[in-house]
Structure 1
Amino acid sequence: MNSTEVLEQWADRSGAYSPDYYAYYGPNETSELIRERLESALEPDASVLELGCSSGRHLAHLHDHGYENLAGIEINDEAFEVMEDAYPELAASGQFYCDAIENVVTEFETGAFDAVFSVETLQHIHADNEWVFEELARITGEFLVTVENEGGADDHDHDHGHDEDVDGAVNYVDGDFPLYYRNWSDVFTEYGFVEVGSRSLKRDTFRVFRQPS
């Protein structure tokens, strides 16, 4: 599957792991971890961007705790209809982009956001589009948070439902969507970030990076 096909399939995603699915379950432990980490270093008026925000459960949690300058990128247009129903205040106040991450990030100014975060999103960036990681480093003013599956013993318990065909650093969601195992510390320290925290979760690795002062 090439990069264009991957984007098209995520844009049309419905049913399990769709925007409706995530809105139904609402904010979770990951939402709490992201909020706690941001609160420890940033004021509520900080500008925050989520990559692959879906219907907005993590951003809604931030909004409920006083963050107002929120933005999100999501390729599935259904997500914004779900957001308007599930999180109407977030939908009304946030800035959202219905497009692929690859098509949006180049339009932002350097250091446009105080914090940028992703939850099980960057792991689906196709190998042909790895240039986007340098762009993410460019637009991040202070903190970058990644919550991604980096591979390991619990790979097949990942809640997107893997098959058993693992080929090196690539696995497949539902036997179709590629999931790339990457060490995000290696990726973003290459672009000048300092890793200031990490934590192993059930399926993912939670990492916090900071731009050097």
Structure 2
Amino acid sequence: MNSTEVRRQWAERSGEYSPEYYAYYGPDETSETIRSILERFVGRDASILELGCSSGRHLAHLHDHGFESLSGIDVNDDAFDVMAETYPELAADGTFYHDSIEAVVGEFDDGQFDVVYSVETLQHLHPDAEWVLEDLARITADLLITIENEGEGERDGSESATPNVSYVNDDVPLYHRDWNRVFTELGLLEVEATSGKRDTVRTFRSPQA
């Protein structure tokens, strides 16, 4: 599976892991985790970008708690229609990009967002598109948060090693990376890390913050 096929898979996703699926379940403990981190590091006026926002349940939680400048990127064809139906105030107040992460972030200015975060999205980034990670560090003015499945077991220790891959339901690839290594090598500073049952939450800060 190449990067184009991975993007197509998510653009056409329906049923499980689709925008409708996430809208049905709504904000969750992860939404609260994001809010808690942001409240400790930035103000309510911070400019925030979610990578792979889907129908917006995490952003909606932030919106409900007073965060004012919210943006999101999602490749799925239904994401923003579902958002408009489920979270109409967020849809009206936020700025959203219907495209792949790779197609959008290169157009952003250096340090355009105070906060950039990803919830189980970067784990789907194909190795062919890893160049986009440098852009994510570039556009982050202060805080970058990854909430991703980093997998189990040891990697081979090579800095250029291809990520380990596993599959959900035999069709959804997960590319397991050491996000500490990835983003510290790109110049960010890890300030917090907690491991849960499935995901590792890492908080990085820009050295310019």
TM range (shorter): over 0.9
**Does residue 1:191 correspond to 2:176, yes or no?**
no
Alignment CA distance shift 1:61-1:169 (3 Å): same
Query: Matches of residues 129-140 of structure 1 in structure 2 within 5 Å?
Result: 129-140=129-140
Confirm whether residue 62 of structure 1 aligns to residue 57 of structure 2.
no
Residue of structure 2 equivalent to 1:157 = none
Q: Is the 8 A contact 2:127 2:163 kept in 1?
A: no
Deviations 1:9-66 (A, max 9, x none): 1100000111011011111111111101111111111100000000000000000000
User: TM-score, normalization: structure 1?
Assistant: 0.91
Which of structure 1's runs of 4+ aligned residues deviate more than 3 A? Answer: none
Q: Distance in 1 between matches of 2:163 and 2:20?
A: 32
Of residues 183, 194, 209, the one that matches 2:204 is: 209
Q: Which residue of 2 aligns with 1:148?
A: 148
> For residues 87 and 34 of structure 1, what CA distance do their matches in structure 2 show?
18
CA distance in 1, matches of 2:122, 2:204: 15
Match in the other structure for 2:175:
180
Runs of 5+ in structure 1 lacking a partner?
A: 154-166
Shift of 1:168: 7.3
Counterparts of 2:201 and 2:172, CA distance in 1 = 22
- In 2, Cα distance between equivalents of 1:125 and 1:50: 15
Summarize the Cα distance change of 1:104–1:168 in structure 2 as closer, same or farther, 3 Å threshold: closer
Contact 2:113–2:139 under 8 Å retained in 1:
yes
**What is the CA–CA distance in structure 1 between the aligned matches of 2:126 and 2:119, rounded to whole Å?**
16
Query: Partners of 2:13 and 2:93 in 1: how far apart?
Result: 25
Name the SS for the 2:41 alignment partner. coil
Please show how residues 75-90 of structure 1 align to structure 2 within 5 Å. 75-90=75-90
**What secondary structure sits across from 2:207 in the alignment?**
coil
